Amino acid sequence: MARKMSINELEDQLLCPICLEVFKEPLMLQCGHSYCKSCLGSLLCNLDQQVLCPECRQTVDCSTSSPNVTLARVIELINNAGDTDPNQESCPVHHNPLSLFCEQDHAVICGLCGILGTHRHHKILPVSTVYSRMKEELSALITEVQQYKRNLNEHISKLVNNKTRITVSNESDVFKWVIRKEFQELHRYIDEEKAGFLESTERKASRLVASIESQVTQTSDDLHKLQEMESSLETLNNETSLHERRFSSRSELPHQLPAEGAFSPVSFKPDFHQDDIQMIVWKRLLRRVLPAPEPLKLDPVTGHPLLELSKDNTVVHRGFLYQRRGSHPDRFDSSSCILTSKGFSWGKHYWEVIVGTKNHWRLGVMKGTASRKGKLNKAPEHGVWLIGLKEGKVYEAFNTPRTTLPLTARPQRIGVYLHYEKGELTFYNADSPDELVPIYTFQADFQGKLYPILDLCWQERGTNTLPIVLPTPAMIQHARAPDSSADLEPTKL
């Protein structure tokens, strides 16, 4: 087994051949031998650059000699090892102090391990340097951990505040109260509808029973008369003398006797089918759950110069003369359109428009940033969502592509429901005061402010002159069925 070399023995191998001391700033000649820088300088004194190596006697050029970095590093490592603490742990192989750190193997080693051992080709640094660097890294890590702790404490504080707000401040109780209130309103409406159905059923049943009772009374009277006639006839039939006796004639029989075999059982049939009750209530419930109708007014600044307003800017019709209105960037200059003064950029909104018997119209919503100059681009990609009636015959939804609406009834009052966040715009037939009948729904990603728009369309040969009306809250509240023309005929408003 090879003998282990100590540091003292290693230092004997690191002596300069000239001064016989440990190398100081060693320089390596072309032949491979090294000498102290000062010793080599004294050797060149009064000589040219060509000298003989003191050890191998080979001619070398001292001007090209370079520092022996490896040798200088080994000497530095040995010197550092000599200054270590005597209590420091020793290398188990060379029994020297563990003063170096191998970065490749992440191990603490001694000087000989770095020169002669398995770590000789690895990157090696003094333990003190690595220790300082690790202390800096640990300090940065501690700072990062402390920041994480502060963030977590802040998050916990927010969570506790949320919990306190929900439990102590009774936020949930407020929502529970709102839920109870809303369901109480729904229950009240359902109870009203139930009472209405029961009252209608009771009323019809009472009329039917009263009719049957009347028939029973009339038939009982006829039966009583027949019994009296029968008794009288039997008395006459038993008489032996017919002197001064009068015969009863057929004219005294009841006039309206039931025909033989004409009787049929009577069944109670209400005005509705029992399977339709839920659907009827659901349709009526839609009006209750929608937001209260918006009291909208028209904005004269946006109207085409031929449009005339009245009734506090709630009625618009097309005139024959241009109105004296200044040029304005918000005004329609080609299409016969006008916007409302109120727009919507969030929430749920419902409003109604009375078109009456007008033969040509369009209505819907429009982006506030959409162009109002030139012909109106009637498509969602241009920020316009419309439905309309053409020539009193064809209902259309101006989607892409344009959609024909198969309406069987001709609505005179149109309901419009906007759910901004959900991206829905729905049109209803609002003629009935009890229910809304869906006409068409647009699906879109709404952005920016939306304004209700009315398009009165152009007149053709004097037709299409009727106005369009935005009903006031009083008109909406007292809206009647479509056969009540007083509320639905714009020309009478």
Res 407: pLDDT = 92
Kindly indicate the confidence band of residue 396, based on its pLDDT and cuts at 50, 70 and 90: very high
CA angle 323, 327, 331 (to 5 degrees): 80
Handedness of CA 180, 186, 188, 194 (dihedral sign): negative
Res 118: pLDDT = 78
HSE-CB at 134 with a 13 A cutoff on CA atoms is 10
Strands (E), 343-412: 348-354, 361-367, 384-390, 394-397, 403-405
> Tens of pLDDT along 49-104?
667 888 888 888 777 778 887 888 887 777 766 555 556 677 887 777 787 888 88
User: At which residue do the structure tokens 């109207």 appear?
Assistant: 303
> Tens of pLDDT along 347-377?
999 999 999 999 999 999 999 999 999 899 9
Residue that wins the pLDDT comparison between 82 and 196: 196
Mean pLDDT of the chain: 80
> Tens of pLDDT along 144-161?
999 999 999 999 988 888
Rounded Cα distance between 177 and 183, Å, is 10
Q: Is the pLDDT of residue 316 over 90?
A: yes
Q: What is the DSSP letter of 344?
A: B
Measured between its terminal Cα atoms, the distance across the chain in Å is 121
Rounded Cα distance between 118 and 122, Å, is 8
Handedness of CA 238, 241, 246, 249 (dihedral sign): positive
Rounded Cα distance between 67 and 35, Å, is 10
Res 380: pLDDT = 95
What proportion of the chain, given as a percentage, has pLDDT over 90? 30
Burial of 47 (0-12, 13-18, 19+ CB in 10 A): exposed
Strand order in the sheet with 66-67: 34-36, 26-28, 66-67
Extract the tokens encoding 309. Answer: 């307003």
Q: How many CB atoms lie within 10 A of CB 28?
A: 16
Extract the tokens encoding 381. Answer: 């990609």
